[in-house]
Amino acid sequence: MDASSKTSRTVLAPTVVTGGASGIGLATVREMLRRGHNVVIADANEASLAHASSELAGHSEATCFIHCDVTDETQVNDLFERVHQRFGPVAGLVQSAGIGVESAFFETSVATFRKILDVNLLGSFIIGRAAARQMRARGGGAIVNVASTSGLIGNAGRCAYGASKGGVVTLTKVMAVELAEYGIRVNAVAPGAIDTPLVKNMHSPQTRESLLARIPQRRYGNPEEIASLIAALLDDSQTGYCTGQVIAIDGGMTAVGLMAARPVSSSLTQTNT
């Protein structure tokens, strides 16, 4: 079924997607609509919201577009009040709002470091806590945080971004442990290199080249590949016993040790067959 076409639908529990107006978030919105959910698209970028709203005009009954900065607690509380009024208590949350910067350790300013932590980590806490309060009152729910492979391993140029995503990894685990008794599951995906507007700004040609050399599948992923994993993690019937996990989806990048490919000319590759 094409998410851009209007169809009769069985309405499933509402899902909020932060950063839902672009990239991985927008692909997740399309996937959740395809699965029959009501979806609230929360984003800080008005132009992207307008663009996404016109793309999804055929889904006006099932969608709600809300301007919200995830770092602003008042805006976040207002967001969840509006979600409740429009669709009832939130059952699913995807935290895809995020910003990135490629900046060497010595050249990273305190202001930059603080800004990245503010949006990626503190924002995840603010939104996650507000959603979990509604889920607790509702009797359960599922949350998926979008971390990054940069939060799992030490990528050069990612001191602020990597630290923020490492924080998201730990936040995910703590939330999973504390919220399990309320029927709330919390997991994270850790995408590798995914072709989205964020990456187009962040990855220089040199970064792209050196990443491709480290990815066994020798390509960037696409947002839809992340969206289907996120949707499965939100779905109790598929992943009901999975919580507190961080799943890398990266073409094999974090599986690599010293060599990303077999040496092409080596005595080990010569056989007598």
**Alpha-carbon span 3 to 39, nearest angstrom:** 12
- Find out whether 40 and 14 touch, Cβ atoms under 8 Å: yes
**Alpha-carbon span 55 to 35, nearest angstrom:** 18
- Find out whether 96 and 143 touch, Cβ atoms under 8 Å: no
Give Cβ neighbours of residue 83 (< 8 Å, ≥ 6 apart): 14, 16, 40, 64, 89, 90, 134
Query: What is residue 103's DSSP assignment?
Result: B
Nearer to ligand NAD, 25 or 89 (CB): 25
Nearer to ligand NAD, 99 or 184 (CB): 99
Question: If binding is defined by CB under 6 A, does position 194 make contact with ligand NAD?
Answer: yes
- Find out whether 128 and 184 touch, Cβ atoms under 8 Å: no
Number of residues located near ligand NAD, criterion CB under 6 A: 31
- Write the interaction track for ligand NAD spanning residues 88-127; mark x where CB under 6 A is met and - where it is not: --------xxxxx------------------x---x----
Considering the complex, what minimum distance in angstroms separates the CB of residue 87 from ligand NAD?
19
Question: If binding is defined by CB under 6 A, does position 28 make contact with ligand NAD?
Answer: no
Question: If binding is defined by CB under 6 A, does position 16 make contact with ligand NAD?
Answer: no
- Find out whether 80 and 141 touch, Cβ atoms under 8 Å: no
Tokens (6 digits) for 115: 């800004």
Tokens (6 digits) for 181: 């008794």
**Alpha-carbon span 205 to 273, nearest angstrom:** 41
Q: Which stretch binds ligand NAD (CB under 6 A): 14-22, 58-66, 129-137, 260-268?
A: 14-22
Label residues 72-111 b or e (16+ Cβ within 10 Å = b). eeebbeebbeebeeebebbbbbbbbbbbbbebeeeebeee
Considering the complex, what minimum distance in angstroms separates the CB of residue 143 from ligand NAD?
14
Nearer to ligand NAD, 200 or 262 (CB): 200
- Write the interaction track for ligand NAD spanning residues 212-251; mark x where CB under 6 A is met and - where it is not: ----------------------------------------
Q: Which stretch binds ligand NAD (CB under 6 A): 31-39, 53-61, 64-72, 207-215?
A: 64-72
Nearer to ligand NAD, 87 or 161 (CB): 161
Question: If binding is defined by CB under 6 A, does position 167 make contact with ligand NAD?
Answer: no
**161 has catalytic annotation:** yes
Question: If binding is defined by CB under 6 A, does position 43 make contact with ligand NAD?
Answer: yes
**Alpha-carbon span 114 to 130, nearest angstrom:** 22
Nearer to ligand NAD, 36 or 228 (CB): 228
Q: Which residues contact ligand NAD by CB under 6 A?
A: 18-19, 21-25, 43-45, 48, 68-71, 96-100, 119, 123, 146, 148, 191, 193-194, 196-199
